[in-house]
Chains A and B, each alone.
Chain A
């Protein structure tokens, strides 16, 4: 483990589903650089596979 007191103003987010996307946007909007890492070819996660979402029956896309 490298010991360092120097802080870095960026955050790594692992996973680009709805949670990863939201946290990335919030951080980028608050002054932090975000590295968003996604193992699949695109973001969206499971939510992108859903037809509608409850309880509003909005289109998941």
Chain B
């Protein structure tokens, strides 16, 4: 209710400044009244005009009046004015004639509006690269060459071939499929996209892996042609390894010749292997893994708002303010900011929420509203008076189920005092009608026979509250998804089943009782653990919004790993950043900084935690509502390549130091060799450390600029300069840095002889081993997780196989931890560069901010509770997945009693305890044994009667 969505809307102008912008928008006509449209779909059926469907990338047809896809939000149809026969040629109006709610409005006009807002967040996304101009790929000429987005639609169940993958040329299943990487990315000769799109390697692997599921045979053969495989995100390397194990072939080659196969089906590719061998191979289909291009609106938005873009047409920001454009108060997120996948887009989205919230903290809660309801009617102890509302859902239900028959049947059921049929029970006017009927007929329980409670129960609960009833006096009978939609071929049986469903719902609702959502008082303070860059950013994010914050650092210095770093990938001075943040942290009135301090305990749950902190001056108790884990990670110490034995062999950080302190010595070097993935992407640490390629490439550039005569070699397994970092890789090559690829089973050989340090490595293109005598050997050592056993135990933090903290969901909740009220930021989550750590820290603040925003946090009412029957057998404690149950021993009349108790703040109401309890000692509200028994009895009722008759 505090989000107003305007669809079909463009920005046409802006004035004002941070805190107070006036944005002019244009709402384009939909020609369908959103209030009246009930999304029955009749209009689309009747519309005679078929056009290409952009949702299915043109691979299918849609009608002029349509919805994008079945789950579109808002679920309202629209008329495409460019294609509608009436709007273009003045005749037809079929949709208007058949619409049952008179929702069609051909007189709809565009509207120009001005909206005031304190901040603007831009998330217009990206444009998939169109390879039509790269004629050598044969796209749009060879039928079986498709783009990756088209392929995505071919795989999709809602796509043009309902998920059963077939070749576009002849409709047969493909058996040999090839992917070509970097189409429209890392390419400055055929297009102007020099950057890496960051996501294509992973989506290609995903497509290769899921392809098998979409084909009937098991002989599918997948080949990926790549330049570098860039699986640099959390759990990405394992995903790649998995694909290799499952037989997906990865070939380091770049096919340039594409020709159609026999009868114009399939594609013939020619390419050269890294050993110089020329190969020609036929495939049934070729997928072009197209890159992400700057949004079409990028230029327009940058000019309208007055912010700068990068050379690649993405948005220019800096590492400390990773989502702030150069126009203050205007933020940019997602692929609009730089090419990226979902997890980072979601993280940046939350980061921008923090940036805007900090900017507007003085006016928080001034524009939002909380809904009010009439007082709740007392129902405890009164006779059940049930109202049943049977929905026709337009024709969705009524075409299969005889709703009148169901209605008459409902009236005969015990305690039902009112029943009626509605065309659309969920429509706004029916909602009002229902709340009136509740009052008029003094109903105290309601059954809605319509669709799924998953999507619609909150809506109807609201209707009950409008009618003065407790929200939990409702049951839904899903006679659509679980009935009419799946039984359209047998209407009689469907009607019988609908009656069963209604009878079961009525039986259960009879035993429903009012439930209250419990509120817990929120301690509106934050705790941040770890005083590195992420921790300081998080602490400042809270404090700048006025929340009291405790920042705990186990060492005696702020800055963490960032203290040892020199510059960000695009040359910003990290030292200055760290010092600046440290100063702000120390001086901020809302931040209590505790150095040399460790957490010794944690109790409580979201909104209300208590910990003991061990400080140099003794133990202190801290109370807080949320906590951010920013405990960092460290550079590993290599166990190979003479590290620790020869002083010329050093890690990145040591070499950075060498450059700082002995630049003239380094300058006099003849040869410097870097070895990548030292301790990463191997058996012990099967993940990519994400930052080392960029670090090596940056130092290689620095060396070449220092003295172009130095021979610089980077021995790598794939260069992973993702996103706009690719520009550095190109620059390094132009400066003459030599890149040599090796495999894990053919690693370089390092040895010292005659006071010299030698590196031997096999060069595929030469098909021989070269020997390099080097002055420095720099090892790109892995970033490894810290062992924080004690801390992780106190907070019940999960860690992945590599020891990094686990998020609640890798894509949709990337900074939330599995325990409510705990959030993650920075290296303790996964290796990442400065800008991404800062964004994650800001995101953690936004997610935590939702808890701190209100004084009282409302919990779900469906929670476990303990009855008098509990005898403390404690079976439920083992099955509870949330650690929400504990055993308590009390003493009554001198007798010791054991009984479990539940923590309502932690309980999710899953019901495992109730199911496992042998004594009826623990129930879940809304699913008590009485309620479930009534349901089962009612379900068995017809069965029993049919047995009696037989």
What residues make up the interface of A, taking CB atoms closer than 8 Å to B? 1-58, 61
CB neighbours (8 Å) of B30 from chain A are: 41
Choose among B9, B22, B849 the residue with the greatest number of A CB atoms under 10 Å from its CB: B9
Docked complex Cα distance between A17 and B124 (Å): 8
CB neighbours (8 Å) of A36 from chain B are: 3-6
Is B11 close to A, CB under 8 A?
A: yes
Choose among B5, B210, B345 the residue with the greatest number of A CB atoms under 10 Å from its CB: B5
- Do A41 and B123 touch across chains, with their CB atoms under 8 A apart? no
- Do B118 and A23 touch across chains, with their CB atoms under 8 A apart? no
Chain B residues numbered 109-156 whose CB sits less than 8 Å from any CB in chain A:
115-126, 128, 149, 152-153, 155-156
- Do B353 and A23 touch across chains, with their CB atoms under 8 A apart? yes
List the 10 closest A-B pairs by CB distance, nearest first: A19-B334, A22-B349, A26-B353, A33-B367, A15-B123, A9-B363, A20-B123, A42-B72, A29-B850, A9-B366
Is B67 close to A, CB under 8 A?
A: yes
Is B450 close to A, CB under 8 A?
A: no
Closest to B353 in A: A26
- Do B16 and A2 touch across chains, with their CB atoms under 8 A apart? yes
Q: How far is the CB of B262 from chain A (nearest CB, A)?
A: 30
- Do B846 and A30 touch across chains, with their CB atoms under 8 A apart? yes
Cβ-defined partner of A18 (8 Å) among B121, B334, B846: B334
4 additional contacts (CB under 8 A) given A34-B4, A37-B6, A44-B69: A8-B360, A19-B348, A32-B360, A57-B209
- Number of contact residues on B: which range applies? 35 or more
Is B708 close to A, CB under 8 A?
A: no
| Known A9-B118, A38-B7, A39-B10: A15·B124 in contact at CB below 8 Å | yes
Query: For chain B, what secondary structure do more than half of its interface residues adopt (helix, strand, loop), or is it mixed?
Result: mixed
Inter-chain CB contacts under 8 Å: number: 260
Chain B residues numbered 1-27 whose CB sits less than 8 Å from any CB in chain A:
2-11, 15-17, 19-23, 25
- Do A57 and B121 touch across chains, with their CB atoms under 8 A apart? no
Cβ-defined partner of B3 (8 Å) among A4, A14, A34, A55: A34
- Do A9 and B202 touch across chains, with their CB atoms under 8 A apart? no
Is B68 close to A, CB under 8 A?
A: yes
Closest to B80 in A: A41
Cβ-defined partner of B121 (8 Å) among A11, A31, A38, A46: A11
- Do A49 and B117 touch across chains, with their CB atoms under 8 A apart? no
Cβ-defined partner of B68 (8 Å) among A22, A41, A53: A41
Docked complex Cα distance between A18 and B16 (Å): 28
CB neighbours (8 Å) of B202 from chain A are: 54-55
Chain B residues numbered 145-172 whose CB sits less than 8 Å from any CB in chain A:
149, 152-153, 155-157, 159, 163
Q: How far is the CB of B754 from chain A (nearest CB, A)?
A: 48
CB neighbours (8 Å) of A58 from chain B are: 811
CB neighbours (8 Å) of B517 from chain A are: none
Is B235 close to A, CB under 8 A?
A: yes
- Do A2 and B22 touch across chains, with their CB atoms under 8 A apart? yes
CB neighbours (8 Å) of B205 from chain A are: 54
CB neighbours (8 Å) of A14 from chain B are: 11, 120-124, 301
- Do B68 and A42 touch across chains, with their CB atoms under 8 A apart? yes
Is B73 close to A, CB under 8 A?
A: yes
Is B418 close to A, CB under 8 A?
A: no
CB neighbours (8 Å) of A16 from chain B are: 5, 7, 123
- Do B352 and A48 touch across chains, with their CB atoms under 8 A apart? no
